[in-house]
Amino acid sequence: MLPGPGARRLTLGIIPEGGAHIDVPRKTVGAWQTADTMGIFQALPDVWGGWRTECWEDRFEEQLIRCNGALRLPELDLAAGMDSAREWLRDRIFQRFSDSPAGQILKLSELLADVGPGLVVSDDAVTNGGARPNNEEWARFVAACDLVRGAHAESA
């Protein structure tokens, strides 16, 4: 049996990155996450022994369906999501080398040099690789985002 009656109402200030739905009559636990960084999906069968476990990847809608209207989500703000994604991509693509994953690997290897003599980081781990768009290509991407954003605004 689950502990307590649970929360009747929960208001989150952020969009959740994961969730679980516990269906006691069906003895089923379903979970979703936008990124399974903690291995939840693999751990579910052991943690919920004797129960059926379902892994819904990032499909939060599965939980929404099973709640039969008891769970309400705010409307998806597609325009804000596109703006946020475009900003994240711009920052990630045009970041300084020192802030990039390769730059962080190099910084970490320098910090560990005294602790682990002989530590070798391969050249390909710190190559400032990855194709970056030129100004014209980036402008076309931004224009495409704006076009989709405008089309969505007209249909809303």
- How many Å apart are CA 60 and CA 16, to the nearest integer? 9
- How many Å apart are CA 55 and CA 32, to the nearest integer? 6
Dihedral over Cα of 103, 106, 110, 111: its sign: positive
CA nearest neighbour of 24 among 62, 51, 60: 51
Q: What is the DSSP string of 75-132?
A: PP-HHHHHHHHHHHHHHHHT--GGGSHHHHHHHHHHHHTTTSTT----GGGS---S--
Torsion of CA 96, 101, 105, 106, to 10 degrees: -20
Q: Where are the domains of the chain?
A: 18-66, 77-94+132-156, 100-130
Q: Could you say which residues of the chain have pLDDT below 70? A: 1-3, 36, 125-130, 155-156
Write out the H or E segment, with its range, that includes residue 57.
Answer: none
Query: What's the one-letter identity of residue 75?
Result: E
Are 60 and 76 in contact by the 8 Å Cβ rule? The answer is no
Q: Read off the pLDDT of residues 66-83 as tens digits, 9 standing for 90 and up.
A: 988 888 777 778 888 888
Here the tokens at position 49 are 């022994």
Q: How far apart are the first and last CA of the chain?
A: 44
Are 32 and 56 in contact by the 8 Å Cβ rule? The answer is yes
Which pLDDT score, from 0 to 100, does residue 1 have?
47
